[in-house]
Amino acid sequence: MSRRSSMLRPTERLLRIALGSAQAATVLGDLQEELDARIATGQAPTFPRIWLLGHAAALAAAACWTSVPRVIRAAGYSMRDAIRGLRASPRTTALAILILTLGMSAATVTFSVVDHVVLRPLPFPDDHRLVAVYGTTSRGRTRIVSPQDYFAFRAGVPAFEHVAAWTAGGTSTVRIGDIVEEVPALVATASLFDVLRVRPMIGRSFGPDHERSGGPKAVVLSHAFWQRRFGADPSIAGRTIVVEGNVHEILGVMPPGAEFPIGVAEPAEIWRPYVPRPQDVAYLRGQGRAWFLQVLARLRDDATIEQAATQVDAATAALAAQHAFYGQWRARVDWLRDALVVDVRGWMLLVLGAVSLVLAVACVNVANLQLARSAVRARDFAVRASLGATRGQLVHAMLVESLLLSVIAGAAGLLVSVWALDVVKSALPDGISRASQIALDGRIAAAAFAAAAMSGIVFGIVPAWQASRTDIIGILKAGTSAASGPARRTWRSGLLIAQVGLMVVLLVATSLLVASFVRIMGADLGFARTNLVGIRVFPVWRGLTAADRSSRSRELFRQSKLALEAVPGVAHVGYLAGAELPLHDTSATMNLQRPGGPDASAPLEVEFRRASEDYLEAAGLRVVDGRWLRETDRDTAVVVLDQIAAARLFGASSAVGRTVLVGDAPAQVIGVVSTVRFEGPEDDPRPQIHLPWSLQGAQGGSPMIVVRTSRPPSEVVPAMSTALTPLLPAGSPPTLITVMDDLYRELTADRRFAAGLMTAFGVLALLIGAAGIYSVMSSIVALQTREIGIRCALGATRSRIASLVLSEAGRHVAVGLAIGLAAAWAVSGIFASLVFGVTPTEPALYLIVVAVLALVALAAAWLPARRAARVDPIVALRE
């Protein structure tokens, strides 16, 4: 016997797995019988164990084969039951699907955006070795540098394996055949291909030959442009194209995905070589400084970024030592990945947190809906259980239902996500890195879907699990009211409270961001931002002595002023020297102090500017005390302070008429003006002083022309440009015209977007939460119909019933509010860095949030309360 049983064990196991224990026994018995018969008749198989196992395996396989259609049929029945179950409570089902879809798509879209913009690597090989070189002054950073800086880096930074310079953002006129169009163009050094490690997929890139002045003219096309205008012609290399009126040879086509500049809405369609002029390579005598290049480099494999930084700094310092106009400007090095997202990472992560909260609210909501639904179905379960359904079968039925719900919601969510992603992409502010590459991320969609589905499934199954254990007879006799057992009630309450809590945190974050945004937009910048234009000209005088050059420059500026004033729509023209316009780079600083004696103070580091007498009106500064500069002040030792400088040096007493030391030279204070916030509302400005400037003065460099227009700048700028161009000598770099409003809009674009997005999330959460409260209260009312009927019969008024329902809802909401407020308070530190002008714990905000939520909850609970009040006691008691 023991030998027999050992022989049979693996066979037995195999059959049990395939057939189930009952059937397996019979099959095994059959095999044993036949084996014994064979042994008896002398036809015993040589290896009985193998004989048994072999035949058992064949039978096991046959069993699996037959069970396939059965499984499919069973699945069909399950699906039919699930659909029936979902249709039994259509409102709950529809609501659950809607909430799941909204939560899922919001999460998917947001995560996809943030993933592509902040988290993913750049589309170039070994992008982690790419660095950006940018300029800094004492106040902040700029991306553009002068060509001389680039050449200095190329020569003097061995830590760079390759370094390239480029400029983009403009368009070039391109003619193919008879069709002329403006396309975004990139002008770059040939080394850009080496830095990025991309090569044209057809043809070749431009080389040193093309960078020579007078060398052959050539371009490389972007993949998209090649497809669009040349129909993806494979023999494109060698054809010609007319760019800016000159015939250029098409050298090659870039591969798809090699988009540059990285992440702008319109990457360049043609790549042109940068042909430096002699004055770009090294400063000529008397030449000013022009900024228009961005620098990108690849670090040597064996070099560190610190080494590169040191070398870059040394190169810049050498230039600064030679040229006074460098002032405090220095160059720094940063990883390209970081440089691209440094401005947006903060609020992007905040948005990520917000959408996670929305998803959590959605999940909690669905879980609650499932709980409510299973309470209603308890009777159904009880009947089934009494007819012999096992716990496993009940759980299975509920599981399939929940899964079906999730699948429907998932499909809907996917559709909505695709549509929403397009909408969001077009609404993103310009300059968000890699916005063009944002696409729906499958992993993220799957993760969001799994999260939502999980909560629905878990909370659908748990009650089904309990149903088979509860007092079935009791349920059948007492109706559905007994089915809302205490455990379920606790879960429901808990989930409702959790939902409200999450919503509070989200709404607090939203209102903080929105409030901060409102503060920013309304902040006083110290000057009049609208209808303000800044113009920089870079005249290049060839073959003149220094003296001739300065007199020519002076004449140029004098004529420019006259020309501009003659343009209709121009109200005031002024000059600002030694600095950029507000909202741009700042200039150098110098020391300001009260003169020696008992009044002496420590020197105050101030920013200084030289301004013409028209500048006040042009820029829209306000005179707070005394007066502004006049024509008679030119070449005299006077100074205008700003409010901060005046307060620091003289406190409450008036600064007008007092003498100060500007650097070493004494000057008389003739007035005090408003403090200008150069870098936007979040700027914490230094004290500023204005010194007189005159055309005749000895100050070098070219001033900025500041123009105030009486009409919207867009109408006036073309005329201004036309007026100025003939005055410039041939071969000068193009005039740089900046409209202040545009600059400001760019600065605040991402704030605006974040505020908009957060508001959308807040509204979404409110909607989902309201839906949740409504449905939970509805189901509670439905389950308690009997009790309500009894109360009515015992004399309760309709309004009393309604107020009972409302107060139950109110209790939950109140607890949720308390928990949520505490949580928001606890994490307020995180918000602090992202909001401006608003303390994260401002009571007014919290009060508003509480009020809004309470109102929404009240509205959501209103309908169920009314329905409860309308219950007909006779009908209710009969149930």
Partner 1 sequence: MTRRASAPVLGEFELVVLLAVLGLGDDAYPVTIRNAIEARTGRQVSRPAVFITLERLEDKGLVSSRYGDPTPVRGGRAKRFFRATPSGVRAVQASLDAVSAMTEGLPLKTKLKHL
Q: Least distance from C-beta 440 to partner 1, angstroms?
A: 44
Q: Tell me the closest approach of the beta carbon of residue 58 to partner 1, in angstroms.
A: 5
* Cross-strand partners of 639: 669
Rounded Cα distance, 183 and 189, in Å: 19
Environment class of 281 (CB within 10 Å of its CB; exposed 0-12, middle 13-18, buried 19+) = middle
Q: What are the DSSP calls for 793-850, one per residue?
A: HTT--HHHHHHHHHHHHHHHHHHHHHHHHHHHHHTHHHHHTT-SS--TT-HHHHHHHH
User: Near partner 1 by CB under 8 A, which window of 26-34, 77-85, 585-593, 704-712?
Assistant: 26-34
User: In the complex, what is the shortest distance from the CB of residue 59 to partner 1, in angstroms, rounded to a whole number?
Assistant: 6
Residue 814, Cβ density class (10 Å: 0-12 exposed, 13-18 middle, ≥19 buried): middle
| Nearer to partner 1 among residue 63 and residue 523 (C-beta) | 63
167 binds partner 1 (CB under 8 A): no
Q: Report the nearest approach of partner 1 to the CB of residue 70 (Å).
A: 7
| Dihedral sign of CA atoms 36, 38, 42, 47 in order | negative
User: Among residues 2, 40, 42, 70, which is the contact residue for partner 1, using CB under 8 A?
Assistant: 70
Closer residue to partner 1, CB minimum distance, 27 or 771: 27
CB of 34 to partner 1, least distance (A): 6
3-class DSSP state for residue 102? helix
Q: Report the residue from 44, 61, 318, 763 that binds partner 1 according to the rule CB under 8 A.
A: 61
Q: Is the CB of 22 or the CB of 698 nearer to partner 1?
A: 22
Site for partner 1 contains 66 (CB under 8 A): yes
Stretch that binds partner 1, among 30-38, 379-387, 508-516, 521-529 (CB under 8 A): 30-38
Residue closer to partner 1 (CB basis): 4 or 84: 4
Number of chain positions touching partner 1 (CB under 8 A): 25
Site for partner 1 contains 414 (CB under 8 A): no
Q: Give me the 834-873 binding string for partner 1, x by CB under 8 A, dash otherwise.
A: ----------------------------------------
Amino acid code (one letter) for 537: V
Measured distance CA(282)–CA(301) in Å, rounded: 30
Q: Is 879 in the site for partner 1 (CB under 8 A)?
A: no
Assess 15 for contact with partner 1 (CB under 8 A).
no
The CB-of-46 to partner 1 minimum distance in angstroms stands at 19
Closest distance to partner 1 from the beta carbon of 65 (Å): 6
Dump the DSSP string for 737-786. Answer: EEEHHHHHHHHHHHHHHHHHHHHHHHHHHHHHHHHHHHHHHHHHHHHTHH
CB-wise, 58 or 637, nearer to partner 1? 58
Letter string b/e over residues 319-353, b meaning 16 or more CB atoms within 10 A of that residue's CB: bbeeeeebbebbbbbbbbbebbbeebeebbebbbe
Shortest distance, CB of residue 411 to partner 1, whole angstroms? 33
**Of 18-26, 574-582, 637-645, 739-747, which part binds partner 1 (CB under 8 A)?**
18-26
Phi-psi label, residue 94: left if phi above 0, alpha if psi -120 to 50, beta otherwise: alpha
Give the Å distances, CA to CA, from 635 to 286, 737, 849: 22, 29, 59
CB of 387 to partner 1, least distance (A): 18
Q: At what angle do helices 798-826 and 785-793 cross, to 10 degrees?
A: 130
Residue 27 sits in the site that holds partner 1 (CB under 8 A):
yes
Give the residue with the Cβ less far from partner 1, 40 or 794.
Answer: 40
- Site residues for partner 1, window 33-52 (CB under 8 A)? 33-34, 36
What single DSSP character describes residue 690?
Answer: E
Binding test (CB under 8 A) with partner 1, winner from 6, 26, 833, 839: 26
The Cα 27–Cα 61 span in angstroms is: 13
| Residue 23 binding partner 1, by CB under 8 A | yes
Contact call for residue 17 and partner 1 (CB under 8 A): no
The yes or no reply on residue 55 touching partner 1 (CB under 8 A) is: yes
**Which of 32-40, 169-177, 266-274, 691-699 is the region at the interface with partner 1 (rule: CB under 8 A)?**
32-40
**Which of 10, 20, 29, 76 touches partner 1 by CB under 8 A?**
29
Angstrom distance (rounded) from CA 595 to CA 666:
8
67 vs 710, which CB is nearer to partner 1?
A: 67
Q: Closer to partner 1 by CB, 68 or 698: give it.
A: 68
* 30 counts as binding partner 1 under rule CB under 8 A: yes
Q: How far is the CB of 26 from partner 1 (least distance, A)?
A: 4
Residue 54 binds partner 1, judged by CB under 8 A: no
Q: Which residues pair with 271 in a beta bridge?
A: 186, 220
Distance CA 195, CA 122 (A): 13
With binding defined as CB under 8 A, does residue 710 bind partner 1? no
Name the phi and psi angles at 439, rounded to 5.
-140, 165
Cα dihedral 360→361→367→373 (10° resolution): -160
Q: Does 25 bind partner 1 (CB under 8 A)?
A: yes
Whole-number Å distance between alpha carbons of 170 and 383: 75
- Return the C-alpha torsion angle 624, 627, 628, 630, nearest 10: 170
**3-class DSSP state of 80:** helix
Using a 10 angstrom Cβ sphere, with 0-12 exposed, 13-18 middle and 19 or more buried, the burial of residue 300 is middle
Q: Are 421 and 438 in contact (CB under 8 A)?
A: yes
Find all residues with CB under 8 Å of 735, minimum gap 6, and list them.
535, 536, 537, 538, 721, 724, 725, 728
Out of 39, 44, 62, 119, point to the residue binding partner 1 (CB under 8 A).
62
CB 483 to partner 1: min, Å: 33
Interacting residue with partner 1 among 17, 44, 50, 58 (CB under 8 A): 58
Residue span binding partner 1 (CB under 8 A) among the ranges 58-66, 204-212, 561-569, 715-723: 58-66
Query: Would you say 52 or 270 has its CB closer to partner 1?
Result: 52
Segment lying near partner 1 (by CB under 8 A), choices 2-10, 208-216, 698-706, 777-785: 2-10
CB of 106 to partner 1, least distance (A): 48
Residue 65 within binding range of partner 1, rule CB under 8 A: yes
Q: Which is nearer to partner 1, 25 or 644 (CB)?
A: 25
Identify which of residues 35 and 670 has a Cβ nearer to partner 1 in the complex: 35
Nearer to partner 1, 11 or 294 (CB): 11
Q: Smallest gap, in angstroms, from Cβ of residue 68 to partner 1?
A: 11
Percent helix, strand and coil across the chain, each to the nearest 5: 55, 15, 30
Which residue in the set 59, 241, 367, 500 belongs to the binding site for partner 1 (CB under 8 A)? 59
Please tell me whether residue 818 binds partner 1 under the rule CB under 8 A.
no
Stretch that binds partner 1, among 57-65, 420-428, 639-647, 679-687 (CB under 8 A): 57-65
Q: How far is the CB of 389 from partner 1 (least distance, A)?
A: 20
| Least Å from the CB of residue 63 to partner 1 | 7
- Under 8 Å between Cβ of 130 and 298: yes
Helices and strands (H, E) in the chain, number of each type: 26, 23
Cis status, amide bond into 261, omega within 30 of 0:
yes
Residue 103 host element (H or E):
helix 90-114
Nearer to partner 1, 48 or 431 (CB): 48
Interaction site with partner 1 (CB under 8 A): 4-5, 8, 22-23, 25-30, 32-34, 36, 55, 58-59, 61-63, 65-66, 69-70
